[in-house]
Chain A
Amino acid sequence: MEPSQQQEKQTHTMREDSSAPMPQSDDHIKERFRIVTESLTVFFDGKAAIRNVSMAIRTNRVTAIIGPSGCGKSTFLRALNRLHDIQPNARVEGRILLDGEDITQLDATLVRRRIGMVFQKPNPFPAMSIFDNVVAGLRFNGIRKRSLLEEIAEEALRRAALWDEVKDRLRAPATSLSGGQQQRLCIARALAIEPEVLLMDEPTSALDPIATAKIEELIYELKRTYTIVIVTHNMQQAARVSDWTAFMYLGELIEFDKTRKIFTNPSKRQTEEYITGRFG
């Protein structure tokens, strides 16, 4: 059933083509890959935070990255969005292919418009209304047509399952929302620029269980349209929301497989020990 479903969901992605790199395993040859990293290594002050991470991230799937604190999950995620560029002490080596194109060679600003990011702490722009927050990415990139902005804002807020809660107070300050609403606002803000990939860096770690459940439901909905990579500390969350799971430890990718396989029958001893709570 998977390949046919896949076909349906992918009709909108024209950029995908057969030249995209193929995976090592023949089993998944029909699945397509949105992002492929090749020997991705990130140094901070000359010290490697992640080493030789090669991962193929499947289109319209949720890929979870788990591992103990300091294992390089966030470093990996931030590399995909070129966020290490702003840190003078960081250096990135290796290739990151987005639809077969090496984004380490592209303009970072353009890359970030194709790869959205949601952060650990809800971070709506202060001193801006809910509406202004959602359309910030568009407006500050030169789109000024009021009717278009309104249309996109509504669509993004609907996709982020926030529209019904805020439609009557779009002018209210974004900071007047609850933490969970703020996080969904940040998701709407990221969706408004219509990215292909959505990166989420522990998006629910600052939220209560009810808000967390809402975000997880949302992730499930969003994977129809987007490729999602989520970093999480919460293994139940990884098991609940993801199709594929990567386990990282001490800056290296230890194991990357279907989520069910990782959680029921991991092939590496370290993965098993982490998942069963023996360390981490």
Chain B
Amino acid sequence: MNERRLQPSPWVERRRRIVNALGHGAVALATAMVLVPLVAVIWYTLREGIPGLTWDFFTQLPKPVGEPGGGMANAIVGSGIVVGLASIVAIPLGILAGIFISEYASARLAAAIRFVTEVMLGLPSILLGIFAYAVVVKPMGHFSAYAGAVSLAIVMLPIVIKTTEEILRLVPRHIREAGLALGIPQWVVVLRIVLRAASRGIVTGILLAVARAAGETAPLLFTALNNRFWHTTLDQPIATLPVQIFTYAVAPYEDWHRQAWAGALVLIGLVLVLSIILRLVVSRTHLEHEQ
């Protein structure tokens, strides 16, 4: 007789179905709304950028104002150099700092550094540009690739530190204990076992940082400035893709707009290619490193 009492009434059952459908719909709609701008950006960049992707675009210097044609060869190479320089500094430093916070720092010190890192993550990048201007450009007396790299390194550092630390903390404690119990010194356990276990996640952090740095414009305006020609040394202004895109996009010339779109497309493409290469390298070296 209890069975009947526990049966929900048809009305309750119907209401439950309606609420479920509504909830389901709301979640799906929210996901779709998130995807719309993402897909739109890529689609729009492709549509506007592909016509500008000529051979000249990759091989020529910018033409003087009013003259059609030319390309962004110097900016593509310049972006590579500035981001590369920044990576050489920021990636090892960031990984080491992440290791320190996760493996060596006391709980209180770790919390303090973590807090500072999070604040740094939230700083507007233009501020970092002004900082690099004050400490590098001013003393040197001129804009340079070095100054641009410094500002981008500051952009990258907190990202690398934070992802490294978070990924390392995901490696279970018993893995470290297993290493220590074999009589392996702690620093070797960290570098050869823990870091290895976390390598995929750390690569993701590096990619995030590189992608972010490659697209930064504001810090470069104060530091690397721009250059319409090939740079000859690294202590002079250098052209970079984001700054070139910015310059061309705000100019009143149809041809420059086309090139700005092409530049944006190249930027996306470069980041994509880099992430594919890095991921392939990591998954390949993962197991066969001692062959």
Hey, which bits of chain A sit against chain B, CB under 8 A? 81, 83, 86, 88, 108-114, 116-117, 119, 121, 123-129, 131-132, 136-137, 140-141, 171, 173, 186, 189-190, 193
Contacts and interface: CB of A to CB of B under 8 A. Distances in A.
A120 B257 CA distance: 64
Nearest to B184: A140
A183 B188 CA distance: 23
Contacts of B177: 83, 86, 117, 119, 123
B181 interface: yes
12 contacts: A81-B181, A83-B181, A110-B183, A113-B183, A117-B177, A117-B178, A117-B181, A123-B174, A125-B197, A127-B196, A127-B286, A140-B179
B36 interface: no
Interface in B258-291: 286-288, 290-291
Nearest to A78: B177
B184 A125 contact: no
List the 4 closest pairs (A to B, CB-CB), nearest first: A113-B183, A137-B182, A117-B181, A112-B183
A28 to B, nearest CB: 29
Contacts of A86: 176-177, 180, 186
Interface string B104-130: 001000000000000000000000000
Contacts of A189: 178, 182
A141 B184 contact: yes
Given A127-B287, A129-B287, A132-B290, A141 B178 contact: no
Interface of B: 106, 171-172, 174-186, 188-189, 192-193, 196-197, 199, 286-288, 290-291
Contacts of A108: 180
Contacts of A117: 177-178, 181
Among B176, B179, B184, B193: residue with most chain A CB under 10 A: B184
Contacts of B291: 171
A136 B182 contact: yes
A86 B106 CA distance: 12
Contact of A127 (B179, B184, B186, B197): B197
Contacts of B106: 88
Given A125-B193, A126-B197, A140-B192, A193 B178 contact: no
B182 A112 contact: yes
A125 B195 CA distance: 11
A109 B178 CA distance: 12
Contacts of B172: 123
A112 B193 contact: no
Contact of B180 (A110, A112, A126, A173): A112
Given A109-B184, A171-B288, A136 B199 contact: no
B182 A190 contact: yes
A123 B183 contact: no
Contact of B287 (A88, A112, A128): A128
A133 to B, nearest CB: 9
A173 B287 contact: yes
A121 B174 contact: yes
Nearest to B283: A127
Contacts of A124: 178
B174 A116 contact: no
A119 B174 contact: yes
A159 to B, nearest CB: 16
A171 B184 contact: no
Contacts of B183: 109-114, 137, 141, 193
Contacts of A112: 180-183
B242 to A, nearest CB: 36
B278 to A, nearest CB: 16
B287 A140 contact: no
Contacts of B182: 112-113, 116, 136-137, 140, 189-190, 193
B53 to A, nearest CB: 39
A186 B175 contact: no
A109 B290 CA distance: 25
Contacts of B197: 125-127
B184 A137 contact: yes
A193 B196 CA distance: 21
B99 to A, nearest CB: 15
B283 to A, nearest CB: 10
Nearest to A131: B290
Contacts of A110: 183
Contacts of B287: 127-129, 171, 173
Nearest to B171: A126
Given A83-B181, A193-B182, A123 B175 contact: yes
B193 A136 contact: yes
A36 B181 CA distance: 20
A123 B178 contact: yes
A87 to B, nearest CB: 10
A71 B193 CA distance: 32
Contact of A136 (B179, B185, B288): B179
A223 B178 CA distance: 22
